[in-house]
Amino acid sequence: MNGEKIDGIARHEGAPAGGLAFNGETAVYGLIGHPVAHSYSPAMHNAALAALGLNGVYVPFGVQPENLVAAMEGLRALGVAGVNVTIPYKEAVMPHLDELAETAILYGAVNTIINRQGRLAGYNTDGPGFIKDLREDHGFEPSQGPALVLGAGGSARAVVMALAQAGCPEVAVVNRNRARAEELAKSVHSKTGLQVLALQWDPGDRLLAGFARRAALVVNCTPLGMSGQVRGDLPLPRGVPGSGQLAYDLVYNPPVTRFLARSAANGAVVANGLGMLLHQGVLSFEAWTGLAAPVAVMRRALYRQAGI
């Protein structure tokens, strides 16, 4: 990932054309998080496994917070080959892993785990996947201008760190818990040298409003707008994001969130999290299997699942 060579899980031969063979040799991959019912990852990864004729299956594992430690032990006990990690566990899983790759340490979060004979290794493909989507699918170069990031959780940490590494000149983070935004800002500064602003979650805050209006990129890394989540408003001034700005929502279900709909109405270019989901998934799949991922197949599966 991001140029790092990773030993993957061995390829399983013998899957019949047009389907997967489930037997004692089937490799199990999955997703742990809460909630996970909305996720499109199973459709994407199962399509990739089938396309390459691999004897494997990818399933969602909904894990309640009080069961996270038991779930991690379960990965070892059951021999689950690898999993993705989503909200709210990208940081919480880290103390329960045996190894952390440089990407996980740098981003301070894990979204990909490989099980190597009972030893769990954590990686982060979110950051590289996000930058790859910006550049390849949206023609946006992070060095173009300032970026405003909403949220300070695991996904936000990966986004901010990736932007700093990719040459973004200015980044500001706004979070309901400002202390957490300040911690993230300090962490990014210590690891990359980029001075990151931590702003107040208040649409009336002048500093936030000013930064938001001149930002080239505004990224929502909170679950606001996600299917099944409590509704709420992001602390943005009226008309922002607007013309000349890229509004990027990591939420992809629904494909058009309230944030993206408003941004489009304001004249902004908009993007949901499907592209980042695709590219981080490609990197995870390649880490688990050691094979080149069928990107076009995975993209079609995602779009089909999203009804696009």
In a domain, 98, yes or no: yes
Residues 247 and 295 in one domain: no
In the residue annotation, 191 being an active-site residue is answered as no
User: Which entry of 5, 90, 186, 191 is annotated as an active-site residue?
Assistant: 90
57 backbone dihedrals φ, ψ, rounded to 5°: -145, 145
In a domain, 178, yes or no: yes
Residues 106 and 228 in one domain: no
Residues 75 and 146 in one domain: no
Residues 32 and 162 in one domain: no
In a domain, 8, yes or no: no
In a domain, 13, yes or no: no
Residues 181 and 43 in one domain: no
**Domain range enclosing 212:** 127-274
Q: Looking at residue 191, which CATH number applies to its domain?
A: 3.40.50.720
Per-residue pLDDT of the chain in tens (308 residues, 90 and over written 9): 333 333 333 333 334 334 456 899 999 999 999 999 888 999 999 999 999 999 999 999 999 999 999 999 999 999 999 999 998 899 899 999 999 999 999 988 899 999 999 999 999 999 999 999 999 999 999 999 899 999 998 789 889 999 999 999 999 999 999 999 999 999 999 999 999 999 999 989 999 999 999 999 999 999 888 876 656 789 999 999 999 999 999 998 888 999 999 999 999 999 999 999 999 999 999 999 999 999 999 999 999 998 88
Q: For the whole model, what pTM was predicted?
A: 0.86
By C-alpha distance, which of 121, 114, 198, 120 is closest to 157?
198
The whole-number pLDDT of residue 229 equals: 65
- Judged on CB neighbours under 10 Å (0-12, 13-18, 19+), 168 is buried
Q: Please state, rounded to an integer, the average pLDDT across all residues of the chain.
A: 91
Mark 51-60 as b/e (b = at least 16 C-beta within 10 Å). Answer: ebbbbbbbeb
In a domain, 143, yes or no: yes
In a domain, 150, yes or no: yes
* Packing angle, helices 295-306 and 41-51, rounded to 10: 140
User: Which amino acid does the sequence have at 121?
Assistant: A
By C-alpha distance, which of 23, 13, 81 is closest to 53?
13
Domains identified in the chain, total number: 2
What CA–CA distances, in Å, run from 20 to 11, 132, 205, 302?
13, 30, 54, 19
Residues 78 and 177 in one domain: no
What are the structure tokens assigned to 216, written together? Answer: 């080239």
Residues 34 and 149 in one domain: no
Residues 132 and 33 in one domain: no
**Residue 120: CB partners within 8 Å, gap ≥ 6?**
72, 75, 76, 96, 97, 98, 99, 113, 114
- Judged on CB neighbours under 10 Å (0-12, 13-18, 19+), 107 is buried
Q: Which residue has the tokens 């909904």?
A: 62
Residues 134 and 265 in one domain: yes
In a domain, 164, yes or no: yes
Q: Which residue has the tokens 């040298």?
A: 193
Residues 91 and 131 in one domain: no
Q: Looking at residue 103, which CATH number applies to its domain?
A: 3.40.50.10860
Residues 152 and 225 in one domain: yes
Question: Sign of the CA dihedral 55, 298, 261, 219?
Answer: positive
Strand ranges inside the chain, DSSP E? 27-33, 56-62, 82-85, 99-100, 112-116, 119-123, 147-150, 171-175, 196-200, 217-220, 246-249, 269-271
By C-alpha distance, which of 209, 128, 139 is closest to 174?
209
Residue 296 has a CB neighbour count (10 Å cut-off) of: 9
The whole-number pLDDT of residue 59 equals: 97
Return d(Cα 113, Cα 82) in angstroms, integer.
Answer: 5
What residues form the annotated binding site?
39-41, 86, 102, 111, 126, 151-155, 250, 252, 273, 280
What residues form the annotated binding site for shikimate?
39-41, 86, 111, 126, 252, 280
Report the percentage of the chain scoring pLDDT > 70: 92
In a domain, 20, yes or no: no
The whole-number pLDDT of residue 37 equals: 87
Return d(Cα 65, Cα 87) in angstroms, integer.
Answer: 11
What residues form the annotated binding site for NADP(+)?
102, 151-155, 250, 273
Q: What angle do CA 105, 107, 113 make, to 5 degrees?
A: 65
Residues 209 and 108 in one domain: no
